[in-house]
Amino acid sequence: MDLDQIVAETAADIEPHRGKGKVADYIPALAKVDPKKFGIAIATPDGACPKAGDADESFSIQSISKVFTFSLALQKAGDDLWKRVWREPSGTPFNSIVQLEREKGIPRNPLVNPGAIVVTDHLIDNGDADAAIDNLLRVLRDHAEDDSIDIDYEVAMSESETGARNRSLAHFMASFGNLENEVEVVLSAYFRQCALALSCAQLARAGLFLAFDGKDPVTGERIVSAQRCRRILAVMMTCGHYDNSGDFAYRIGLPGKSGVGGGVLTIAPNEGAIAVWSPGLNDAGTSTVGALALEELVERTGWSIFG
């Protein structure tokens, strides 16, 4: 299979759709991104990276960071993590608070905001949010083999300034005893993880281990056990796109995670990791053109896990 050609054809196919969807406008740094941007990159086990469009331009990965914190928390806590967060699709928007009251402060899954806030809390030792973020950054740089990956501090600052809803979620969970650290400590880490800036090429490379049973096929390094990797992918498949997860599974048939910056990280088991970016979102917060591109790509490669 000629992936360079498939990526080029996929990019050509979506050309007429560029600019579709609504760019997130809750913070200025996201609102000002050109809606016509589009990038696609596939990290493959031989270390290659077929890519097209704006695949080397950094963007705000936002909720895609939740995959990496979830993976780290599973390594740290093992199955104890499931005492504090469930693994069921929410069927509600990413920042919904209603379910939390009915379900006594236990969030639905690690890939919606309240679940990710609990996961981040779990990664903070001795109240040191900076150390947790330093570790996350080091892990991402290692996975991607790229020390230039960093946090966009303008985005992080804006996340905090507009973070009333996330603060509400965190205080609500704290009232049920489901936060170990102070709300502001946890959120200072959470807002920075949302503000991580990666390109499609870097993001696909960082997620490659998830396509190969938790082991980086390029370096040979085991990052998570094969069993944990399967579980991370199962949660991505069922919960990776908020209340749009069913539609994404139906159309693309691969585990993935989207973020409101317009990025989507998608895993094709035993094949590679695909990152797409296009800032215009659908109503649920998933990239409109990104999802279209993935649909095209899966059609051409036959990579859907459903055959």
Tell me what percent of the chain is helix, strand and coil, each rounded to the nearest 5. Answer: 50, 10, 35
Neighbours of 134 (CB within 10 A): 11
69 binds ligand GLU (CB under 6 A): no
Which residue lies nearer to ligand GLU by CB, 166 or 288?
Answer: 166
Give the nearest distance from C-beta 183 to ligand GLU in angstroms. Answer: 14
Tell which residue, 12, 59, 104, has the closest CA to residue 279: 59
Is 187 buried (19+), middle (13-18) or exposed (0-12) by CB count in 10 A? buried
Which residue lies nearer to ligand GLU by CB, 11 or 61?
Answer: 61
Is 64 buried (19+), middle (13-18) or exposed (0-12) by CB count in 10 A? buried
Give the nearest distance from C-beta 67 to ligand GLU in angstroms. Answer: 12
Task: Please pick, from the candidates 121, 159, 243, 271, the single residue that binds ligand GLU as defined by CB under 6 A.
Answer: 159
Count of residues that interact with ligand GLU, criterion CB under 6 A: 11
Give the nearest distance from C-beta 20 to ligand GLU in angstroms. Answer: 19
Give the nearest distance from C-beta 258 to ligand GLU in angstroms. Answer: 7
Can you tell me the distance from the alpha carbon of 252 to that of 257, in angstroms, rounded to the nearest whole number? Answer: 12
End-to-end CA distance of the chain: 16
63 binds ligand GLU (CB under 6 A): yes
Active site residues: 63, 66, 190, 242, 260
Task: Please pick, from the candidates 3, 40, 55, 194, the single residue that binds ligand GLU as defined by CB under 6 A.
Answer: 194
The DSSP symbol for 66 reads H
Task: Please pick, from the candidates 35, 114, 256, 259, the single residue that binds ligand GLU as defined by CB under 6 A.
Answer: 259
CB 112 within 8 A of CB 90: yes
- What binding mask, one character per residue, do residues 284-303 give for ligand GLU by CB under 6 A, x or -? -x------------------
Question: How many CA atoms lie within 13 Å of 109's alpha carbon, on the beta-carbon side?
Answer: 28
Can you tell me the distance from the alpha carbon of 51 to that of 49, in angstroms, rounded to the nearest whole number? Answer: 6
Give the nearest distance from C-beta 158 to ligand GLU in angstroms. Answer: 9
203-242 binders of ligand GLU (CB under 6 A): none
62 binds ligand GLU (CB under 6 A): yes
71-110 binders of ligand GLU (CB under 6 A): 94-95
Which residue lies nearer to ligand GLU by CB, 7 or 140?
Answer: 140
Can you tell me the distance from the alpha carbon of 93 to that of 12, in angstroms, rounded to the nearest whole number? Answer: 32
Can you tell me the distance from the alpha carbon of 154 to that of 268, in angstroms, rounded to the nearest whole number? Answer: 33
Query: Which residues of this protein are in contact with ligand GLU, per CB under 6 A?
Result: 62-63, 94-95, 113, 159, 166, 194, 259-260, 285
